[in-house]
Structure 1
């Protein structure tokens, strides 16, 4: 039998915490102690012990009629990163938005007996499940609440920390109002399908980022759900955006994709793809996210960069998106960034895209160079580069 088959939950938990330390997901003793204390496997009894303590495995909570996840307990690596971003201390009052039970238990360990934790979810089934497992594991001090987070916070007072574990497209005014003077909001904020876990602090009437990390969560439901525009260009190829100003002419763009292909190479290094993707998403004038299935990629019609989604620049009848090729002359990464474009405006779109790739490589090619601000109220018009409209306000991102 293997070590995993014979190891106790305590041993698996210790291995998980050690590995999270090694990957810099856990950097503080407080978070390490909290992860060590909470029996994660008891919040996912229908999964194996190995899956429960795997760094990158989610634990299913609830699925829709098609078997797609409506609610999950996030992977330990992501939970650790977000709790380190939150900087939760003993005695704090903390709200969790999106509940599976486990993360709330870890937060209770962090705030201690003198702190207060409320975990909130829009789905009564999810919150009832969380309540059961919190009670079963001795975390009955955690308060549970079934409500829509878009509007529920107005009556809950102020918090030292708010941690959202669902993808948020916008930040409701009540969330900002519920932050204490030195409060911090950690939320997976999405712009055009690109999501970052952002640790925000107050900045006048708005918020400014303290840190941001790559993240992926199930989307928020209810009044705060994201607008979603999606078209199929052909079987296995989709374009998606939350920006109402971006043209999504499926028929014309499908014809473009089936036509001639233009390649344009930037001469710039391809590195830090998550940072590059964030930069391109906020700075392209008409961005959408291009997704392609593996069989379409294997056919050679679309580049592998689209498998998990790649930011594209689109017009009414043309499309351009990022790719890469080996090139040792571009630096230690060994790859050069480039653009694939289709359609009557292929040359112009490829030139715009390539210039941005060069600017990224020249001025911003490092981790953590962006500052993200959330400002309530209408966005300026015309929309400046690095700005995205939201329902209650707008996001502005600048690069050092």
Structure 2
């Protein structure tokens, strides 16, 4: 057996193992999607030096291009999120699909699911990405089943009518009106939508003059480029040695950011919620709750060498600003039993204010959203609007419309 034959056999073995793991975890739900994951050679679409074990791991994304700063701008997404989004789209034989964000592998999966009678159009703004995708799809035998186009997909794709599904595989801050114009009346729009810095892959369908969600999955994607790009506002806070703690605002940055100058030089304060959680239990919905209901919410990062970096295992990258002070989501060992207690640590002369605000929302999440069904989402394009906003409902304003996030009430 040659080395190439041996590698192909090993890849086929790992491909089947990946499909088995995705089924066992509940990600793969339909036979066509299972067949696609057992058929398409994922290793043919990643850099040649990527180990097969890395390529076929359930939760590994493989970067295919970085910018001049070394930041990933194109990748083959983790298998679990790829299968989740394809299942969210509820595809069938003969359907037409628009993929926004190209790479080749996901388009090949889509081609397998919709079959030879279907249509897959894959669009990316970067010609280097589309050239690579075109070459890899041709080498893998999908040249006549996937059309690759270089364009900014914020505009309509010329020469094509409506699509039964539009799947966005880059982080989107808003819903482009062009997508709604090219989505079939009963079609599905699946996109990783950023909501105040927190992302979910949301499947939307039309309901009257707006979109309603049918499912949502926790995810993370490289941000969109071009007309749909949304640039966060960053605020760097130096410590005594010049190392930075950076606050990143998706929306609503501080009106007077200079009030935070020198804030890390002061004493740190703490506030604790009494809300606990066992180790290994997801609390991703807490992040979304804070992003929805906590004014001044932002993401936080700490440069190596800062005090926060040294304590990285005791906090999460979410913070809130109030005037001259800020607080960030923290945990400490629970007083009874295993697990941790949620709370907030704060810097600034009035650190108790943002810390108290965060703790209040942790308690609100525990009382009104925890251990309940996942929230639902609705998108209201410009010219439409929801009725009365309910207590457990948040409204986020976007460029082309607004988004509502609704937790089930009692």
Count residues in correspondence: 389
1:53 and 2:53 correspond: no
1: distance between equivalents of 2:27 and 2:106?
Answer: 15
1:27-46 residue pairs with structure 2 within 5 A?
27-46=29-48
SS in 1 for 2:29: coil
Change (3 A) 1:304 1:7: farther
Shift of 1:155: 5.7
Shift of 1:138: 0.9
**Once the two structures are superposed, what CA deviation does each residue of 1:321-362 show, in whole Å capped at 9, x if it has no partner?**
211122265x8x732211112223322222222111111111
**How much is the aligned-residue C-alpha RMSD, in angstroms?**
2.4
Shift of 1:120: 0.5
1:256 and 2:263 correspond: yes
TM-score, length-scaled by structure 1:
0.90
SS in 1 for 2:306: helix
Match of 2:20 in 1: 18
Match of 1:137 in 2: 140
Contact 1:176 1:206 in 2 (8 A): no
Shift of 1:172: 0.9
Shift of 1:109: 0.4
1:296 and 2:306 correspond: yes
Match of 2:3 in 1: none
TM-score, length-scaled by structure 2:
0.88
Shift of 1:289: 1.2
Contact 1:297 1:303 in 2 (8 A): no
5+ residue gaps, structure 2, are 1-5
Shift of 1:366: 2.9
Equivalent residue for 2:340, pick from 327, 335, 338: 335
Q: Which runs of 4+ in 1 moved over 4 A?
A: 4-7, 248-251, 297-303
Match of 2:163 in 1: 159
Contact 1:212 1:368 in 2 (8 A): no
Contact 2:47 2:64 in 1 (8 A): no
1:130-209 residue pairs with structure 2 within 5 A?
130-140=133-143, 141-153=145-157, 156-209=160-213
2: distance between equivalents of 1:248 and 1:9?
Answer: 54
Change (3 A) 1:236 1:17: farther
Shift of 1:179: 1.5
2: distance between equivalents of 1:105 and 1:252?
Answer: 52
2: distance between equivalents of 1:367 and 1:7?
Answer: 45
2: distance between equivalents of 1:193 and 1:73?
Answer: 22
Change (3 A) 1:83 1:232: same
1:1-400 residue pairs with structure 2 within 5 A?
8-46=10-48, 47-140=50-143, 141-153=145-157, 156-234=160-238, 235-243=243-251, 245-247=252-254, 249-270=256-277, 272-297=282-307, 304-306=314-316, 309-310=317-318, 312-327=319-334, 329=336, 334-366=339-371, 368-377=373-382, 386-400=394-408
Change (3 A) 1:9 1:264: same
Contact 2:346 2:355 in 1 (8 A): yes
Shift of 1:193: 1.8
Shift of 1:236: 3.4
**Once the two structures are superposed, what CA deviation does each residue of 1:247-277 show, in whole Å capped at 9, x if it has no partner?**
0655432422331222111112346321100
SS in 1 for 2:156: helix
Shift of 1:302: 7.1
5+ residue gaps, structure 1, are none
SS in 2 for 1:106: helix
Change (3 A) 1:6 1:133: closer
SS in 2 for 1:51: helix
Shift of 1:152: 2.8
